[in-house]
């Protein structure tokens, strides 16, 4: 059973197809490539004058980076990409580079390797005055400005249901890998105030949860 939070299970070879995974694996796919492109669109909507967007990336998020590059080209923004090569990740150096490049905003791609820094990254973003968008609400709960992505609690409940089905005799090879269809936009008003950013009505109307 898998919860593919930051990779495509078909492209990675974990399953043969979404409809007929084969083997002994099924689960949930969270569509991070498409969501990453949507996140930069939301960030540009928040910051219409932004010309340069800083991007945190690593080996596990390269497919997302491809999607973001395509979206950035359509939006007419330049990407300042810091791709971490090996652990431990030097986040201070990454943000120092973003400052030199005069970034206007931040996009952190979805990577499990970034999760241990879920307090450090938003803190550095605030320190460097970079409005940021992330893949999950827990980033916003730790001081990030915005997140857009799958509701992890709902996704993992569904994984538990799939596990129960398998334990009752269902064959994983015959259970389609499900693609997440419910997403949430979360905003931190305290962080917005600290950054001097006004969340426009068009975004605020779409926000599912406000953290104050």
For residues 43-68, average pLDDT: 96
Q: Are residues 170 and 126 in the same domain?
A: no
Q: Are residues 41 and 144 in the same domain?
A: yes
Q: Which of 17-26, 148-157, 181-190 has the lowest mean pLDDT?
A: 17-26
Q: Are residues 24 and 118 in the same domain?
A: no
Q: Are residues 172 and 84 in the same domain?
A: no
Instruction: Specify whether the backbone of 108 is left (phi greater than 0), alpha (psi in -120 to 50) or beta.
Output: beta
Q: Are residues 142 and 46 in the same domain?
A: yes
Q: Are residues 140 and 72 in the same domain?
A: yes
Question: pTM of the full predicted structure?
Answer: 0.79
Using the predicted structure, report yes or no on whether residue 102 has a pLDDT greater than 70.
yes
Task: State how far the Cα of 47 lies from the Cα of 141, in Å rounded to an integer.
Answer: 21
57 has which bridge partners?
83
What's the total number of domains in the chain? 2
Task: State how far the Cα of 139 lies from the Cα of 185, in Å rounded to an integer.
Answer: 12
Above pLDDT 90, what percent of the chain? 66
Contacts 24+ apart (CB under 8 A), 93-102: 94/56, 95/54, 95/124, 95/125, 95/127, 95/128, 95/130, 98/54, 98/128, 98/130, 99/128, 101/52, 101/54, 102/52
Task: State how far the Cα of 108 lies from the Cα of 123, in Å rounded to an integer.
Answer: 13
Q: Are residues 123 and 139 in the same domain?
A: yes
Using the predicted structure, report yes or no on whether residue 2 has a pLDDT greater than 50.
no
Q: Are residues 77 and 135 in the same domain?
A: yes
Give the CATH number of the domain where residue 6 resides.
3.40.50.2300
Q: Are residues 167 and 126 in the same domain?
A: no
Element (H, E) at 90: none
Tell me if 173 sits within 8 A of 165, measured CB to CB.
no
Q: Are residues 10 and 77 in the same domain?
A: no
Instruction: Specify whether the backbone of 176 is left (phi greater than 0), alpha (psi in -120 to 50) or beta.
Output: beta
pLDDT (0 to 100) of residue 3: 45
Q: Are residues 93 and 125 in the same domain?
A: yes
Omega before residue 88 within 30° of 0, cis = yes
Domain that holds residue 167: 2-29+151-179
What single-letter DSSP state applies at residue 37?
Answer: H
HEC letters along 123-189: HHHHHCCCCEEECCHHHHHCCCCEEEEECHHHHHHHHHHHHHHHHCCCCHHHCCCEECCCEEEEEEH
pLDDT (0 to 100) of residue 182: 74
Q: Are residues 194 and 107 in the same domain?
A: yes
How close are the terminal C-alpha atoms of the chain, in Å?
36
């Amino acid at each position: 059973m898998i919860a593919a939070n930051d990779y495509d299970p078909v492209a990675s070879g974990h399953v043969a197809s979404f409809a007929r995974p084969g083997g002994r694996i099924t689960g949930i796919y969270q569509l991070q490539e498409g969501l990453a492109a949507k996140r930069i669109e939301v960030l540009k909507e928040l910051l219409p004058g932004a010309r340069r967007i800083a991007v945190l990336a690593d080996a596990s998020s390269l497919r997302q980076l491809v999607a973001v590059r395509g979206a950035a080209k359509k939006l007419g923004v330049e990407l300042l990409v810091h791709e971490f090569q090996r652990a431990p990740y030097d986040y201070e150096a990454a943000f120092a580079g973003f400052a030199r490049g005069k970034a206007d905003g931040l996009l952190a791609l979805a990577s499990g390797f970034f999760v241990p820094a879920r307090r450090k990254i938003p803190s550095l973003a605030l320190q460097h005055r970079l409005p940021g968008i992330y893949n999950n609400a827990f980033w916003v709960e730790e001081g990030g400005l915005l997140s857009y992505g799958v509701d992890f609690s709902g996704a993992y409940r569904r994984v538990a249901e799939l596990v129960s089905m398998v334990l009752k005799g269902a064959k994983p090879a015959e259970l389609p890998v499900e693609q997440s269809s419910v997403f949430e936009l979360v905003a931190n008003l305290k962080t917005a105030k600290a950054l001097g950013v006004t969340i426009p009505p068009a975004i605020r109307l779409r926000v599912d949860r406000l953290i104050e």
